[in-house]
Structure formats: C-alpha cells, structure tokens
Structure 1
Amino acid sequence: MIHTAAKLCRGLGPACRSSFLSPSSSSCSPFRSISCYGSNLYPVAAQMVDYALSHARSQNTDESYAQGMLVLEQCLSSQSSEEGIGQNSRGVVLLAMATLSYERGNFGEAIEKLQKVQDLKRSSLAYRVAAMEALVGLNLQLGQDDTSSVLANDFFKVVEENYSQAGSVIMGRAKALKGLVELVHGNLVSAESIFGGLHKSDRCAGSVALSYGEFLHATLNFSLAKELYQKVIDGVSDNWKCDDMDTIAVCNMTSEEVLLAATLALGQLEAHMGNFVGAEEMLTKALTKAEEHFGNRHPKVGAVVTCIALMYGQKAMVEHSSSLIVQEGLYRRALEILKAPQLEYEGSKINLDGGDVMALARGGYAELLCLQQNRKGEGEKMKRWAEAAWNSRRLSLAEALDFLEPSGKVAVVEARISRAL
C-alpha cells in the first residue's frame, strides 16, 4: 500500500510530498483533515488518509480522485477490524472515502461507506457521530426528507444513550441537525424549540450556530441571524481543532462546507436587509470559496450564482434600476452548471436533486423574461416548470421571489444541503 502512495506522491510537488511523509501530529491547515486525529489511529493510516485527500483535491480531476480513492482502498484492506485503534483507523479511512465520493457527486457510494462506519462498534463514538451526521445531511440533499427525519432521531438517540462519552458539543450537533430537518419540513415551532439556547454555549460548534442562524434568517430575525453567521465565519477555523474529537465531520458537514454555507447565507441576508454592497462582497467570497473547493462546474457553484442573480434582481427592484443583461447571464450560467433539464413536463410534480435551487433560478429567470413582451410566452412556460419543481413546505415559489413584501418569512438557500429553507 505504501508503494502505491509513494509512487503517486513522486508526481507531486514538495509541499504535497511533505504532507504525506510528515507525522500526523504536525500542524494542520485551518480546514483540518480527518487524519489530524493521529493519536487515535495507526500513524501510517493517518498519513495515507492525509495524502489521499490532499492529492485528490490538489488537482481536482477524475483521475486524481480515483488515485486518492485507490490509496484509501489499499489502506483499508490493511487495517485490522478487531481492536479499538484498528476500528478507528478503518473508520477514518471509510469517512475519507465517503467524502471523496461525495465531492465527485457519487452519493450512493458515499452513503454506503458511511453506513459501514456504523458497524464499527468498538471505534470511537466521534467517527460514528460524523457518519450519522453526514448520512442525515446527504439524505436531506437528495430530498429524502422522511429518511432524514428517521436518521436524525436515531442520531439523537445514540448520542443521548452515550452522553457521558459524547458530551455537550456532540449533543448540540445532534439537536441542531434535528432542528435543520424540522426546518426543511416546515415545522417552525418544533425547530424553534430545538434550537433555543444551543447557540449560547462557548463551545458551540459552527454547524450549530449556522443552522440556528438560518432558522432566524428564514423567519426574519435578521439581526441575531447576522450575529450568528459572523460568529461562524470568524471562528470556524478555531472551532475545528486538530485534537478535538468532538468536531470531526465529513461530506457536506465539513468545516469547508459550513464556512461556505455561512458566507452564502450572510450574503443573502445582507441582500434581504437591502445592503447590496455587503451582499455583493459576501456572495463574491462564497463564489470564490465554492470554485476553489469544488471547481467551477459544481452544483454548489450553481447555487451561489443563483443567489447572486437573485440579489441583482432584488437590487434592481429596490433601486428602480435595470440589470436585465447581467441577471440573464447569471441565470443562464447557473442553470447550465446545475444541468437543469428541458422545460417540458406533463403538469405533475417534478422531483429533482437540487430542484429547489433550479426552481429559484428558473423562477427568477421567468420573472425577468415576463418583463419583456416578446419573451413573455417563454417566461410563462419557465414559470410553470419552476413551480412544479419547487419543493418547500413552508412557502410558495412566488413568496420566495417576493423581495419587496416578504410574508413574514424568506427563502434561504442552504449550501450544505443545496435546499431552499
């Protein structure tokens, strides 16, 4: 297994080679990788996980991800499944494999690896918690809301039964995830009861503050939502310590994902508050983060571009200005990245992965086209498609696009799960 990794490693620059060869206890980047928890793993396993993740992401190609996965598969085959440290090593390799699969859009493979982590009963609870949290997150992203609800309840039950080992931070994460599921279901009263008080802890995980901020944002409590978003952005690198088992996370719940989601949410919030200079600044930062981490053709980038287009539309309405060409260009780019299907449908509900964001993009684009007499027919057709694809249980698409007179709630695009809350 070492020979394969070493062979791949020779093709990289000195920085990547030293990352693979250095001890797992060395200092980590602000976005710590899973392998920073070296004291709980076999050192070679930690080094190979770190290398595989670094190599896959450094080139961000199908080939580099396949090579990274090959290293992880060889590493997994050599790990004992008997003793605790062996199960920890297997667990962290499986989590890394799930993350790489997720980042390339292979959700089924990611879920399979996460489920295998649950079978490692003698591994550290932290790895099983990370897997459970990611399973909920991926099912939410896939629109499997009922499954997400069951998994979130199971997650909470496991943490509650192992509270002496889990502690308050992991319990907070379990509650926050239940709250996010309730918010997706449109159960605002239940979500509020879950979120209450979670953000006040000094060791509040960034994911907890983010989810509660999104709840407040969606219900027009802008000032506290902004405070929480800023808390996440300012403190996210401090909240994920290399030696803190409480904060290990994978797939769409990693620190990179949380920071992207908080930055995007704050940009949307600034727009909802009418601060378009601040909105443009934050949304541009979100776009940069998304492109750097995922590449410029990833659906997460399409979600950010959709939010930028919506912001320009809102700005035009508030300031009585026109930016039709800019907005249309952004909507076209977003829909291309999101790989939106043809407009034809038979009048039934449209169920798509990422359908909420596509619906917002096409709904906003439709409103733009309906302003132009010679394109109104195209706009009406696009509007019907968007309404059929809209999946929110809390507000209609028309309410989500009504920026001038919000009906006591607004839509918030949640980058981690690519849904409109």
Structure 2
Amino acid sequence: MLRIASKLTSRVSSSAFPTRLSPLPASSFRSFTNGLELEADMVVPDAIRMINYALRQWRTERSLGAFRLGCSVLKHCLSMEFTEGKDPKRENSKGMALLTLSTLLYERGEYSEAIEKLEGVQELTNSYLGVRVAALETQAGLHLELRQDDLAAVAADKCMKVVENQEQARDYEAQFVRAKALKGLIELVNGNFDSAEDFFDKSLREKFSDGTAGLSYAEFLHKKQDYPLAKEVYRNVVQGAIEVKNAGRPYLGAGNFSVDELIVGSMCALGQLELLMGNSGNAEHYLTQALSRAEEAYGDSKHPTVGVALTSIALMYRRKAIQDRSSTLLIQEGIYRKVIDILKVPSVESESEDAAPLVDRSDIAALARGAYAEVLSVQENRKDEGEKMKNLAESIWQHRRMSLADALDSETSIIDSRISRIL
C-alpha cells in the first residue's frame, strides 16, 4: 500500500497500477449481453466506423481541435444517407451517432447541449428499444449529476412509459428491468430506501445483473448491508463492462452512463465495499484500478471523475489508518490536495441566468476537505489551518439527509462516481 501511495502523492499515473482484474469465480449470473449492446446486423457498418473514428480522435488528443473534428464527423454522419429514413438499421445508427455526440459534449462540460442531443433520440420510433432507453437513462444521469433531481425523475418516468408501450419489442424484459432500476437509483439518491426496494426485483438477481442497472442494484444491496451479494453483483458488472470495452462492441450508453463511467463507477463502489468488509488489499486493488481506468479513458489527470476516484482512495487510507491505528498523514494530505485542486467548487459569482449549468460536486469536495481538516487538526502546529478547512468544508456541504461528520463516519455511505453524489 505504501508503495502505491508514494506514487500517488508524487504523480498520479495509470502505469503505477495493475491493469488486470483477477478472474471471477463460477457464478450464477448470466453473461453480459442482451439489452446493452447492438449486434453487427442491427447497424450500418459505415456509420459505426465514423462514430468510432470521431470518438477515437477526441479521446486521443483531448484538444479543442479534436473536439471540433469529432463533432463535425458525427454531424456529417447524421446527414448521410445511411442514417436517414425509417429503416431500423438506419435509425439505430443515427441513435448511436447522437449518443456519441452527447458523450463528446458531456466530456467537454457542455451539459445542456448533451441533453439536447439525447432528446433527439426519442424521435427514432423504429429504432431498437435499447437505443431510446439508453438516451433517457443518460438524460436522467446527467440531471442527477447537475443536482436537478426533479428533472431526473421526469426522464426516468418517461423511460418507463416508453418501455411499457413496447411490450412486443426485442429484449423488452431487459429494458423494463433497466427502466425500473433507473427509478430505483433516483430513490436511493433521494434517501428513499424503502421506495427503492420496489424497483429492484429478483430479475436483477437472476437475469439482468449487469450494466448501469446492475450497478444501481449492487448499490442498493450495499446500502441494505447484503454485502456478499452486493460484491458478487459489483464484480459481475465490472467483468461484463470490461469485456464489452475490450471487444469494442456498440454499447448502449452515453455521457456519465457510458461504458467507461460504468467501469470506473463499479470499481470505485466495489473498492469501497471491500474496505467495509475488511479486505483492504482488495479495496486498494479496485480503487487504484478505477483511478487508472479514469485516467486512461479521459487522458486527463484533472478530469472530475479522476478527482472522485482519488477521493475514494484517500478515504480508504483514512479508514485503514483508523482501523490499524497507524499514521498515513502525509499520504492522505498529498491526495486531498490533489482532489481539492481538481474538484473546485463553483463560486456564486460565476453563476448567471444565461450561463451554462454548473456541475456542483460540492459534497464530494466537502468530504475531501472535511477529511483533510482532520489530518491538519491532529498536527499541533496546523490546528488553526485545520479549523479553517473544516469550516470551509461545512459551508459547501449540501447533502440534505446527513451532516458532513455523519458522512465521514458512516460505513454504508457510497460515493457514486457516475453522478458525483453520495448515496
């Protein structure tokens, strides 16, 4: 642990961490497939090649020029003959282009535009049901990250209605479970655990324990303190998402519900659970994997998802130090300082009526600052600095159902890196 920590405090690098997961044991879960991917005969190959090229250009360079090129390629794809008309293959291809365009906009921080592109997917009434579900699921996810919970609930309700009106559709049951799990996630965000239980039925345990629905189900089990089953579901989601990513198949997700965010989010949550179960070695493995994957996906050590992953790692060291009665003050301080630099809290002055929506990750930022304040306060010559940090953390804390102190001490709180919220 100290070897990895020393690298974290000096330079965050994906090469510092292992890149392979240990294989899963034999499981009763099915493989990661229907409802979450498009098969080759469901899309126009030329459209998918253009989509992959646009995303690859953006992910490789991460520059304004690469962003503009990626958007131009996708817009050109949307104007081509192979995405026009009512043929299902063409509508599927058009839907994938819109999902990818939304992802590029999301990763550039242009949330309003990203949501607008997702709304266009609902016009594709002849497309595969999973394409439309993915768009509404992502729309809800973006609203959750923006703390627009009412709008997220509206998107989730619409998703359920779209599915219920397509009972004869291919993979109807999988999409129905996915829509229900989305509503369950919103209940978890709002602290309604009993209501959330109504949306996580045995179908998730027996048939569809994968994708974003699987991750939300695992978080529900995590909160329910059914740790063995939560761990199994988390691992199933991790393995399935990596298989899809490595195979390069068209995954039905975008924005903060893309396959990259799914991998990072499930690893982060699994690492938190492993620490709670007393498996600190496994916790370190998964959390550092999450950090490595986040940096690999976004090519930026200051991407917000990297900051959320780092927060989970720092809190791992904090809890382990408490459990072992050891000191990791220098390690923790180095990580907290990085997190604070990444997750800057928007100032009130930066908001205006006409401005783009600000992504408020203040609870994650406050959690890091609150833990950092503890590190400072135990050092005799830095107590005043620690008190100032504590006051700052409490001033930006916005969680409606628990105090910052409770969140720091809670063993069942979960940092969901997809939506930058604390469940």
Report the TM range for the smaller structure's normalisation.
0.7 to 0.9
Give yes or no for contact 1:36–1:243 (8 Å, CA) kept in 2. Answer: no
Distance 1:203 1:213, change over 3 A: closer
2:96 counterpart of 1:92: yes
Task: List, as ranges, runs of 4+ consecutive aligned residues in structure 1 with deviation greater than 4 Å.
Answer: 34-38, 237-245, 341-344
AA paired with 2:286? M
SS of the aligned residue for 1:204 comes to coil
The alignment covers a number of residue pairs equal to 378
Whole-angstrom distance in 2 between the partners of 1:291 and 1:68: 20
2:16 equivalent in structure 1:
none
2:54 equivalent in structure 1:
52
2:108 counterpart of 1:104: yes
Q: Deviations over 1:341-364 (max 9, x none)?
A: 5799xxxxxx96112211111111
SS of the aligned residue for 1:195 comes to coil
1:64 equivalent in structure 2:
66
1:321 equivalent in structure 2:
326
SS of the aligned residue for 2:123 comes to coil
Choose from 355, 361, 374 the match for 1:354. Answer: 361
Give yes or no for contact 1:36–1:242 (8 Å, CA) kept in 2. Answer: no
SS of the aligned residue for 1:123 comes to coil
Give yes or no for contact 1:206–1:258 (8 Å, CA) kept in 2. Answer: yes
Whole-angstrom distance in 2 between the partners of 1:343 and 1:363: 21
> What are the residue-to-residue correspondences of 1:267-306 with 2, within 5 Å?
267-294=271-298, 295-306=300-311
Structure 1 residue 275 displacement after superposition: 2.2
Q: Deviations over 1:174-223 (max 9, x none)?
A: 01111100000000001112113142233433322211111222343322
SS of the aligned residue for 2:168 comes to helix
Q: Larger relative CO (CA 8 A, sep 6+): 1 or 2?
A: 2
> What are the residue-to-residue correspondences of 1:390-401 with 2, within 5 Å?
390-401=397-408
> What are the residue-to-residue correspondences of 1:237-256 with 2, within 5 Å?
237-238=242-243, 248-256=252-260
AA paired with 1:186? G
AA paired with 2:45? P
Distance 1:343 1:306, change over 3 A: farther
Whole-angstrom distance in 2 between the partners of 1:243 and 1:379: 47
Choose from 205, 209, 217 the match for 2:214. Answer: 209
Whole-angstrom distance in 1 between the partners of 2:201 and 2:394: 33
Distance 1:255 1:157, change over 3 A: same
Give yes or no for contact 2:219–2:414 (8 Å, CA) kept in 1. Answer: yes
Whole-angstrom distance in 2 between the partners of 1:186 and 1:152: 17
Structure 1 residue 241 displacement after superposition: 11
2:377 counterpart of 1:370: yes
Give yes or no for contact 1:343–1:385 (8 Å, CA) kept in 2. Answer: no
Structure 1 residue 267 displacement after superposition: 1.0
Stretches of structure 1 that go unaligned for 5 or more consecutive residues are 1-29, 345-350
Give yes or no for contact 1:35–1:47 (8 Å, CA) kept in 2. Answer: no
Structure 1 residue 67 displacement after superposition: 1.3
> How well do the aligned residues superpose, as a CA RMSD in angstroms?
2.8
Whole-angstrom distance in 2 between the partners of 1:234 and 1:46: 24
Give TM-score, length-normalised by structure 1. Answer: 0.82
Give yes or no for contact 1:179–1:195 (8 Å, CA) kept in 2. Answer: yes
2:262 equivalent in structure 1:
258
> What are the residue-to-residue correspondences of 1:67-216 with 2, within 5 Å?
67-79=69-81, 81-84=84-87, 85-165=89-169, 166-216=171-221
Structure 1 residue 384 displacement after superposition: 2.8
Distance 1:240 1:207, change over 3 A: farther
Choose from 20, 39, 42 the match for 2:41. Answer: 39
AA paired with 1:221? D
Whole-angstrom distance in 1 between the partners of 2:66 and 2:373: 39
2:338 counterpart of 1:333: yes
Q: Give the percent of matched residue pairs that are identical in Structure 1 and Structure 2.
A: 44
Whole-angstrom distance in 2 between the partners of 1:220 and 1:388: 31
SS of the aligned residue for 1:143 comes to coil
Whole-angstrom distance in 2 between the partners of 1:309 and 1:340: 19
Give TM-score, length-normalised by structure 2. Answer: 0.82
Whole-angstrom distance in 2 between the partners of 1:207 and 1:35: 13
Stretches of structure 2 that go unaligned for 5 or more consecutive residues are 1-31, 350-357
SS of the aligned residue for 1:391 comes to coil
Distance 1:300 1:342, change over 3 A: same
